Chain A
């Protein structure tokens, strides 16, 4: 984006087809609007794009050179040439899917996705772990619900989703949004929530956290029907920062 002025009308070429759109939209948004399928895993309409799963790669062409970019974050500019299903793209998706199978090979949704993308039995495996670190749970808790009860801790191979100090989070309101948004069923509330205590917040500073959408505080029902879940289910795009 060189000094983007959102709203300016531009033309992009999607698989050869000229498409009118506005500056500032991402390739993925434009593709979805025009019925072109691009696989994704860490993308959600209601959240800011994250760019972690690398499944949404597409090829852009600039003169003689071609480059793979992540369509969920790459912005459209006038004259952009995009190819969403070339052999290079397919190879990339296949390898990424194979890497997904390294840990999440026992998750039906992942197996199905991998099969669709042409990945066979993984040549490299790690201990089974349904969490693929797509970050959707953390991002939903931060951007839609606003309590930030969980975050990504450690780094590299040790990275995982966790509440602070790996104990039940005082900031969790048990709305269940994170469970709902998880694509592999890796997350359970038991990992995160416990009865509200002030055990790890100083007495004087404790305030019961509440959902920024509906104002609901601690919710005893395992999966409530709070507005955060509605937001997630309807994919209204609200709550994005």
Chain B
């Protein structure tokens, strides 16, 4: 998605006293699924912050990505409770099925994979979240079927 100057300006909003750089970047990230260079430059100018600071913040926090994320974001919880219940093997299965590692996006831009540290749904561990939908009690055996739903565009249907 190429950033439109007017869209961007709206996302950045009024830069009154105390506006949060992180909040602004988060809005841009949510809208474009990444932080385009032009956006960061505009933010730096509008908020009166050095570009190097904006870039530091963009690269420090894992909430942001400088490359476009895939259509579907798969987050595999690597929290302690999930780990103790075998999340490492679930992650392996996802990596194998998609052919990408955490932090990467599939060549067809369909899936991005990331690991997260504890989503706070520990009773359901191991947990995988896809586009905000929680899949609990995951096992390597279930990975294929769950991912297929998104590949076939059947996502959003019932039964997690």
Contacts and interface: CB of A to CB of B under 8 A. Distances in A.
B45 A148 contact: no
A61 interface: no
Given A148-B50, A148-B53, A202-B42, A165 B60 contact: no
B55 interface: yes
A152 interface: yes
B157 interface: no
Contacts of B45: 201-202, 205
A164 B52 contact: yes
Between A152, A154, A165, A170, the greatest number of chain B beta carbons within 10 A of the residue's beta carbon is seen for A165
A151 B54 CA distance: 10
B26 to A, nearest CB: 17
A150 B56 CA distance: 9
Interface string A124-152: 00000000000000000000000011111
Nearest to B60: A155
B37 A151 contact: no
Label chain B's interface by main secondary structure: helix
Interface in B1-43: 37, 40-42
A185 B17 CA distance: 41
B59 interface: yes
B52 A151 contact: yes
A91 to B, nearest CB: 32
Contacts of A153: 55-56, 59-60
Contacts of B59: 153-155
Given A154-B59, A154-B60, A155-B60, A149 B52 contact: yes
B54 A164 contact: yes
Given A165-B37, A171-B50, A151 B55 contact: yes
B42 to A, nearest CB: 7
B53 A200 contact: no
B52 A200 contact: no
Interface in B47-82: 50-56, 59-60
A151 B56 contact: yes
Interface in A167-188: 169-171
Contacts of A200: 37, 41, 51
Contacts of A154: 59-60
A169 B45 CA distance: 15
A201 B41 contact: yes
Report which residue of B37, B41, B52, B54 has the largest number of chain A beta carbons within 10 angstroms of its beta carbon: B52
A51 interface: no
A239 B56 CA distance: 23
A151 B57 CA distance: 10
27 contacts: A148-B53, A149-B52, A151-B50, A151-B52, A151-B56, A152-B56, A153-B55, A153-B56, A153-B59, A153-B60, A154-B59, A154-B60, A155-B60, A163-B52, A164-B40, A164-B55, A165-B37, A165-B55, A171-B51, A200-B37, A200-B51, A201-B41, A201-B45, A201-B51, A202-B41, A202-B42, A202-B45
Interface of B: 37, 40-42, 45, 50-56, 59-60
Interface of A: 148-155, 162-165, 169-171, 200-202, 205
Given A153-B60, A162-B55, A201-B51, 7 more contacts: A148-B52, A153-B55, A153-B56, A155-B60, A164-B52, A171-B52, A202-B45
